[in-house]
Chain A
């Protein structure tokens, strides 16, 4: 019995190939977008884990000196007390215009490094004596070796893929020379296998702070919000994709009612049929999921390089641009496809299993029930209320997304009742019978279209919201860059001595030389970069303060107060008038808060004199130079020639701005791509819904046709109806999108990055989006409309014979 039943069920797909393709497309699209995001996320996380393994730090504790470096003598004292420690010196090295992380480790005591082990297994293993004695050896990715090899001042490079991207690994003796930090240690790794009976570190070195791995500035923690953002977007796309599946499965079932009735009449039990259809859906889900995985893999591969640039630029997180195929990813993608299919077709299957044997196929199935509209309204309001409660009651990114989720899903559920209300109002005002029929017919169509329209609403709102957020951010960011990057040239000297020489040389030739002294402190709120500045009108005039006391610059320059960035202010809830404990025993009143979109870490500014008092030995190698813009190029050239500086050591303001904008744009490439795709998926959902309705439309259209309307008129009306519904949805999507944008700017961004951005409105973008939505709806309605136009009148006549 099973075999003929399967054959009969399958014959449907043979006769409706477009429908089969649609279903598979819906499944594939939903899976593709979701799994692409997952692939990107897991690749990034794997990169972090790999970088950790490649630096062999694993789960070892570390010792840090809050506010500075650890003197070599302190290390020796601890070693001579028996503690087994490995010294690490880190810094940034500017090579050919790029800033690379240089990590020098004591190769004798550091845990085995994969890069060294690889090199030893290679064809020409390097002589350890070369790595340990001048000039030493650098280990870096092969993509960096041409860059590094071109610098004659640098030691020879050994290419190794076992080094994280954008990092140079070397011996500590080499690092202290290149970074000009002789006798300094950034951190001490506490090795496993300590001897018995050691004196506690707290007694031996009370000034050093022991940090377990989880307390360190972990890239995974910093980037969590970024990945969470992506996941939320992926989930949204997935949900929209499921609307297509829902539409197609509903259509197929509606068309197969006759067949099912016949099969049951022939003696096939309903239960068996239900199971067969479920099995059929599972096979289709796996097939669509597999196609989606391939698409997702390609999509992720295309987007990953940009994501890698973002993560490296924004967080300094080591991410490879290469994608690897993971079995867990394949499994989860297929599971999502199958789970999604079951959710999307649950309603249809449930209806099937409860269908009376002799029920006529037809309009009844889709009629809106008054009760369900009330339930939808109540659920929608409850979801919105829940979202608002979440953000009011809880802090954090998850609450922010709960708010967004509640808002979007609640609004989606409210859409059908709202549209129904509008249509009823219109119908009441309609004067001629035809208009009355059109409005009433639209209302009757609504339940079948509502899911597709919800998808459109979500897609449009996401577009408006994310678009507004990105554009507001871009506007703020460019303005901020202009304020922040005011010096015409930025210079990095080789060492302090050269820094002093350059400053001296420039004092005759430039309008002003502004030293940029920076040190990294371990603050209770996380890592804190403390800058020391000199008094100059550049700061007074341009620095982007978002909150300040009176005489803010006078107080900072007098060493009486501190400025902090917005991230720190929001994280610790410190504002002008509060006091900040910079280091144990060093507390300052906060005079102002400045916006800072460069990175998510905390920053503070004090006068350079104060910085030198509390954190002696901060390097003095970086300067901003104020000079008439026309003279900047000549001065840069003269500087390079006079001090034999590498090209990357002198940077023009314009180049720095361009570089910053590139990172900014790359950050939102993924967002924009997902946005467009979501809209595409939503249009597709409308198409499938309209096709689903098509078969049920004939009984409703035939009488109107019989009353004298031509098929062409009916087709035009069909098209118009679709466009009108889309337009109504788009209008409702606009306020929702703006609310979404507000939530992104004021809630999500604050949680994810620590800054709150002003919201700007871009009405032209909305118009463009509206046109796009109408176009999409018109396109989606075009196929059914065309079909109607070409429908043989006999088919319309047959309606009266067959259905009534």
Chain B
């Protein structure tokens, strides 16, 4: 999942100083609240839900270049509503934010875009599918066949994504609980895209192949008062199975949730406490100390693995800073994945 940049309620820097991470945690004035038993309606639900406060289209990909080197890319479009409606032009209270990044073992490059809804600079349409901010795009005839582009001051990429499995719904049929108090979001993923394309990096172009994972989530009040951040894992094992797991760190103890995705795409939701995540190594990034090597255990599936960052310095120094980067899995299972950590 990506409780991630739930942060994005407000884009201006003050917000980050407020309670919790980026001022989340209080009421959902006038905004819609996720409902248990909600029936998804596709392709409409691939599009935006302006009545909810926060929403995102979140792609991470673990890639291998023709040169044999490992890469990771991120492409994210966040929507954050100041008011639960849409309006024309500059009057729109819907704000959009894009994050894009390329991570190699040697460096991590990222870029950020901000925009207001209503003027056409950014947005999402469900059919044909198109999500964009400025010149960054994720478009295709449908959700299973997408082209992904983004560029920053010193990198760009152009990737094709083909779905090789069904959509996956987290929690209770896509109703994903985030705390013991019952805060929740609507949350589904496409964890199995096959990727081909090109990265344009300072040292030149690289043809890459690999796998991508797309998360869709929307909510209005995702965090509990005491929760300050989260650690989120999306892991693809070489056996074909996948795991989504997150741990929300809170004053009253951590709250965990996970989804086991079998090779055939069938899912099992794992309740609070079913996974154990333990930091093994910390990396100092300027003023922050972030765990970049973890031990992750899922006893129900005999998983006991070490998750280590491809590049420990995959820090997103954006308006709401967080750590997001590709990881390698060793131990009882092997494979690759992505790790996101906020609130450090």
User: Is the CB–CB distance between B115 and A128 below 8 Å?
Assistant: no
User: Is the CB–CB distance between A195 and B135 below 8 Å?
Assistant: yes
User: Is the CB–CB distance between A173 and B115 below 8 Å?
Assistant: no
Residues of B within 8 Å of A127, CB to CB, are 10
Q: How far is the CB of B320 from chain A (nearest CB, A)?
A: 13
Q: How far is the CB of A103 from chain B (nearest CB, A)?
A: 14
Cα(A131)–Cα(B135), bound, Å: 27
Question: B90 an interface residue at 8 Å Cβ cutoff?
Answer: yes
Question: B93 an interface residue at 8 Å Cβ cutoff?
Answer: yes
A109, A120, A131, A173: most-surrounded residue (chain B CB, <10 A) = A173
Question: Are A72 and B14 CB-contacts (below 8 A) given A109-B114, A129-B82, A133-B83?
Answer: no
User: Is the CB–CB distance between B89 and A72 below 8 Å?
Assistant: yes
Question: B15 an interface residue at 8 Å Cβ cutoff?
Answer: yes
Cα(A129)–Cα(B13), bound, Å: 12
Residues of A within 8 Å of B11, CB to CB, are 108, 128
Question: Are A82 and B153 CB-contacts (below 8 A) given A109-B114, A120-B13?
Answer: no
Cα(A132)–Cα(B10), bound, Å: 10
Cα(A84)–Cα(B121), bound, Å: 11
Which residue on B lies nearest to A112, using beta carbons? Answer: B13
Cα(A272)–Cα(B152), bound, Å: 72
Question: A183 an interface residue at 8 Å Cβ cutoff?
Answer: yes
Kindly count the residue-residue contacts between A and B in the assembled complex, taking CB atoms under 8 Å apart: 88
Question: B132 an interface residue at 8 Å Cβ cutoff?
Answer: yes
Chain B's interface size range is: 20 to 34
Residues of B within 8 Å of A176, CB to CB, are 89-90
Q: How far is the CB of A229 from chain B (nearest CB, A)?
A: 43
Question: A355 an interface residue at 8 Å Cβ cutoff?
Answer: no
B14, B15, B152, B155: most-surrounded residue (chain A CB, <10 A) = B14
User: Is the CB–CB distance between B12 and A76 below 8 Å?
Assistant: no
Cα(A257)–Cα(B120), bound, Å: 89
Which residue on B lies nearest to A126, using beta carbons? Answer: B14
Q: How far is the CB of B106 from chain A (nearest CB, A)?
A: 19
Question: B297 an interface residue at 8 Å Cβ cutoff?
Answer: no
User: Is the CB–CB distance between B114 and A196 below 8 Å?
Assistant: no
User: Is the CB–CB distance between A132 and B152 below 8 Å?
Assistant: no
Residues of A within 8 Å of B119, CB to CB, are 72, 75-76
Give the contacting residue for A106; candidates B13, B90, B132, B154; CB below 8 A: B90
Which residue on B lies nearest to A127, using beta carbons? Answer: B10
Question: A81 an interface residue at 8 Å Cβ cutoff?
Answer: yes
User: Is the CB–CB distance between A80 and B121 below 8 Å?
Assistant: yes
Which residue on B lies nearest to A130, using beta carbons? Answer: B82
Question: Are A106 and B116 CB-contacts (below 8 A) given A72-B89, A133-B83?
Answer: yes
Residues of B within 8 Å of A125, CB to CB, are 14
Question: B91 an interface residue at 8 Å Cβ cutoff?
Answer: yes
User: Is the CB–CB distance between B134 and A133 below 8 Å?
Assistant: no
Give the contacting residue for A128; candidates B10, B134, B152, B156; CB below 8 A: B10
Which residue on A lies nearest to B100, using beta carbons? Answer: A195
Question: A750 an interface residue at 8 Å Cβ cutoff?
Answer: no
Which of B111-139 touch A at CB < 8 Å?
A: 111, 114-116, 119-121, 132, 134-135
Residues of B within 8 Å of A134, CB to CB, are 91
Which residue on B lies nearest to A116, using beta carbons? Answer: B12
User: Is the CB–CB distance between A120 and B156 below 8 Å?
Assistant: no
Q: How far is the CB of B117 from chain A (nearest CB, A)?
A: 11
Cα(A171)–Cα(B114), bound, Å: 15
Question: B102 an interface residue at 8 Å Cβ cutoff?
Answer: no
Cα(A117)–Cα(B57), bound, Å: 30
Give the contacting residue for A195; candidates B89, B114, B116, B151; CB below 8 A: B151
Residues of A within 8 Å of B95, CB to CB, are 108, 132
Which of A133-183 touch B at CB < 8 Å?
A: 133-134, 171-173, 176-177, 182-183
Residues of B within 8 Å of A585, CB to CB, are none
Q: How far is the CB of B53 from chain A (nearest CB, A)?
A: 11
Question: Are A196 and B14 CB-contacts (below 8 A) given A80-B134, A82-B135, A106-B90?
Answer: no
User: Is the CB–CB distance between B156 and A133 below 8 Å?
Assistant: no
Question: A644 an interface residue at 8 Å Cβ cutoff?
Answer: no
Question: B49 an interface residue at 8 Å Cβ cutoff?
Answer: no
Cα(A82)–Cα(B121), bound, Å: 10
Residues of A within 8 Å of B115, CB to CB, are 79, 108-109
Question: B249 an interface residue at 8 Å Cβ cutoff?
Answer: no
Question: Are A107 and B12 CB-contacts (below 8 A) given A132-B95, A195-B156, A196-B154?
Answer: yes
User: Is the CB–CB distance between B93 and A80 below 8 Å?
Assistant: no
User: Is the CB–CB distance between A196 and B156 below 8 Å?
Assistant: yes
User: Is the CB–CB distance between A197 and B93 below 8 Å?
Assistant: no
Which residue on B lies nearest to A109, using beta carbons? Answer: B114
Residues of A within 8 Å of B90, CB to CB, are 72, 106, 171-173, 176
User: Is the CB–CB distance between B120 and A128 below 8 Å?
Assistant: no
Question: B295 an interface residue at 8 Å Cβ cutoff?
Answer: no
Cα(A120)–Cα(B12), bound, Å: 9
Cα(A141)–Cα(B95), bound, Å: 29
Q: How far is the CB of B79 from chain A (nearest CB, A)?
A: 13
User: Is the CB–CB distance between A196 and B200 below 8 Å?
Assistant: yes
Which residue on A lies nearest to B11, using beta carbons? Answer: A108
Binding site for A on B (CB under 8 A): 10-15, 82-83, 89-91, 93, 95, 111, 114-116, 119-121, 132, 134-135, 151-156, 200
Closest 3 CB pairs of A and B: A173-B90, A82-B135, A128-B12
